[in-house]
A = this chain, B = another copy of it.
Amino acid sequence: MAYRETEKMRLRKAETRQRILDCALQLVMEGGFRNAQVSQVARRAEIATGTIYRHFTAKEELFAEVFRTATRREVTKVGESLAEAGSVIERLEQALRQFAARALNRPMMAWALIAEPVDPKVEAERLTYRKAYAELFEQAIREGMNEGCLPPQDAVCSSTCLVGALAESLVGPLSPVQGSTDETSHTSNTETLVNGIVRFCLQGLTGTGR
């Protein structure tokens, strides 16, 4: 015998793998999944195309993981908002705002995660991700019902509606309409938009106007 995988090597491999993931994520942030080809990822990571296949069995595998990672971050943030102090309603409002704010800050990323057409395997991740959001909201809603600050309702359904309303409202503003990296057009109404979403959603939950 002559070669055994050593700790150092294991580490180096892990680093390369991570670099691939990072570069893939970068590309998605810059131009969505559509513009993130395997060869581009390789170039960005300064490795050969073939090397990527030593770390991932297929492109979809790689990008599913990219999606998962990006997503986890976002879900965590919303989860944190929901875990803070305050009434359930306040926390839900905070979470909705958090979601919207983060999306509007990284429009391309948000669009890629929320609405860009993607391969089946990645789309599957998207469903999971939306469900993860919904489940966070769902739990908060249940809490609210227990505390009595939310009326009895189907928590699953309500949380799904929340996610949908949020996503749909953001798709318009986020959509990378051909050749306009125009900052000015949206900036001003962002606040109004978010307020409108929050109002609708909270009313949908509470059945109570302001």
Contacts and interface: CB of A to CB of B under 8 A. Distances in A.
Interface in A122-167: 123, 127, 130, 151, 153-154, 156-158, 160-167
Nearest to A154: B196
From DSSP, what is the main secondary structure of chain A's interface residues? helix
A31 interface: no
The size bracket of the interface on A is 35 or more
A151 B203 CA distance: 11
Interface of A: 117-119, 123, 127, 130, 151, 153-154, 156-158, 160-169, 171-172, 175, 192-193, 196-197, 199-201, 203-210
A69 B51 CA distance: 46
Contact of A208 (B158, B207, B210): B207
B158 A196 contact: yes
Contacts of A130: 168
